[in-house]
Amino acid sequence: MTPADHGNDPLPPRVVEALRCSVCGSPFDAAGRTLRCENRHSFDLARQGYVNLLHARIPAGTADTAPMVAARADFLASGAYDVLAGELARACAAAEGLVIDAGAGTGYYLARVLEASEASGLALDVSAAALRRAARAHPRLGAAVWNLWEPWPVGDGVASVVLNVFAPRNGPEFHRVLRPDGLLVVAAPGPDHLRELGDLVLAVDERKEERLAGTLGEYFARTGRTEVRRTVELTPRQIRQAVEMGPAAFHLDRGGRRERLAALADSQRVTVSFTVSTYRRTG
Ligand SMILES: C[S@@+](CC[C@H](N)C(=O)[O-])C[C@H]1O[C@@H](n2cnc3c(N)ncnc32)[C@H](O)[C@@H]1O
Ligand SMILES: [Zn+2]
C-alpha cells in the first residue's frame, strides 16, 4: 500500500470507538464513511480521509495554513528533525490501544510512534490542511479536526499515551482522556532552538518550561525529561521552510523577513534543541 492510499480507508475501529459526537457526546457507529450517533447526528469523512467534528468558527491565525503545512511537510521529510521523531518513538514505547496526538499537524511524529508499536492513533488538529496529510501518514491513524481548547470529542480514559509536540496544551483534557496508568509525552523547543536564524524565527519563550509545569501541575507529575540537541546543516531551502512552517509565517511582511529569506544563498549550521518530558496522571 502506498502512503497515499491510507487516506481512503475508513477510520481505524479504535479511533471510532474513542470518538464522541461533538453535538451530544454519544458514541459513534461507523457506516462506511459516515460517523453517526444514536441521536442521528452524522459526520462524513472528507475525501482525504479525515473527519471534521467542529461546529464553531475558529479565530483567524489559529490553524496552520496550507502553505505553512506544505513547508512543514517538506521540512520534516528532509529528515532535519528525525532525531526528535526517534526520541518520541522511544518515549512512547509503552503505547498500546490508542495514542492521541494533540496538535498533530501532518502526523509525522504520530506515524513514527505507530510504526514502533501496534497501537492506533488519533490525530487532533484544527488545521484541515494539516490533517489531509496526517490521514495518509499511517494506516492505523485516524484524523479529526477539532479545537483543542474546547472539551474534546473523545471518551474518558481511552488513550494509553497522549502526545503533544509544539502544540497547545489542555491539561484537564489530557488528564480526562488518558487511562489512569497513561503517559503524557510533551515536546517543546529548547531555549537555543534555531538560535542562529536570529529574528527570522520567533524567539523561544525562555520561561516556557516553567509555564508548562504550571499548566500541567494540577493534573500531572513529571516522570522524565530528555534534552535533544544537535547541530545540523540546513540548506537555504530548509531554512525558508523552517521559517515558513512556524508562527513567523504570520509575520513575514515585518522586519524585511521575506526579502532576507529570498536572498539566502548558503547553507548554515544551525542548533536544533528540544526537550521531551514525560508525565503521569496524579489523581
Ligand atoms: C507548530 S505546529 C506542530 C504540529 C506537529 N505537532 C509537528 O510538530 O509537526 C502546531 C499545530 O497546532 C495546531 N493548533 C494550533 N492551535 C490549535 C487549537 N486551538 N486546536 C487544535 N490545533 C491547534 C496547528 O494547526 C498546528 O498544526
Ligand atoms: Zn450526537
The confidence score (pLDDT) of residue 1 equals: 40
For residue 58, the CA-to-ligand 2 centroid distance in Å is 21
Q: Is 127 in the pocket of ligand 1 (CB under 6 A)?
A: yes
For residue 167, the CA-to-ligand 1 centroid distance in Å is 5
Q: Is 125 in the pocket of ligand 1 (CB under 6 A)?
A: yes
Q: Whose CA is nearest to atom 1 of ligand 1?
A: 166
Q: Whose CA is nearest to atom 7 of ligand 1?
A: 105
Report residue 210: phi and psi, to 5°. -60, -45
CA separation for the pair 283, 281 (Å, rounded): 6
Report residue 125: phi and psi, to 5°. -165, 155
For residue 43, the CA-to-ligand 2 centroid distance in Å is 10
pLDDT in single tens digits along all 283 residues of the chain: 444 456 566 899 999 999 999 999 999 999 999 999 999 999 999 999 999 999 877 877 788 999 999 999 999 999 999 999 999 999 999 899 999 999 999 999 999 999 999 999 999 999 999 999 999 999 999 999 999 999 999 999 999 999 999 999 999 999 999 999 999 999 999 989 999 998 888 766 666 666 776 789 889 999 999 999 999 999 999 999 999 998 888 888 888 888 999 999 999 999 999 999 999 999 7
CA separation for the pair 214, 158 (Å, rounded): 25
The C-alpha cell at 30 is 461507523
Q: What is the DSSP track for 66-90?
A: HHHHHHHHHHHHTTTTHHHHHHHHH
Ligand nearest the Cα atom of residue 20: 2
Q: Is 168 in the pocket of ligand 1 (CB under 6 A)?
A: yes
Ligand nearest the Cα atom of residue 109: 1
CA separation for the pair 127, 65 (Å, rounded): 7
Taking only the tens place, the pLDDT of each residue in 5-43 is: 565 668 999 999 999 999 999 999 999 999 999 999 999
For residue 207, the CA-to-ligand 2 centroid distance in Å is 41
Residue that is written with C-alpha cell 494540577 in the block: 218
Our mutation pick for probing the ligand 1 site, out of 65, 69, 88, 127, counting the most ligand atoms within 8 A of Cβ, is 127
- What is the number of the ligand 1 atom nearest to the C-alpha of 148? 20
Q: Is 250 in the pocket of ligand 1 (CB under 6 A)?
A: no
Angle between helices 66-77 and 236-244 (to 10 degrees): 140
- What is the number of the ligand 1 atom nearest to the C-alpha of 247? 1
- What is the number of the ligand 1 atom nearest to the C-alpha of 130? 27
- What is the number of the ligand 1 atom nearest to the C-alpha of 106? 9
Architecture in CATH of 57-281 = 3-Layer(aba) Sandwich (3.40)
For residue 29, the CA-to-ligand 2 centroid distance in Å is 11
Single-letter amino acid, residue 170: N
* Cβ proximity of 246 and 197 under 8 Å: no
The confidence score (pLDDT) of residue 203 equals: 66
* Cβ proximity of 242 and 234 under 8 Å: yes
For residue 61, the CA-to-ligand 1 centroid distance in Å is 11
Q: Closest by alpha carbon to 35, among 145, 158, 131?
A: 145
For residue 130, the CA-to-ligand 1 centroid distance in Å is 9
Residue 251's Cα: distance from chain center in Å? 22
CA separation for the pair 269, 273 (Å, rounded): 13
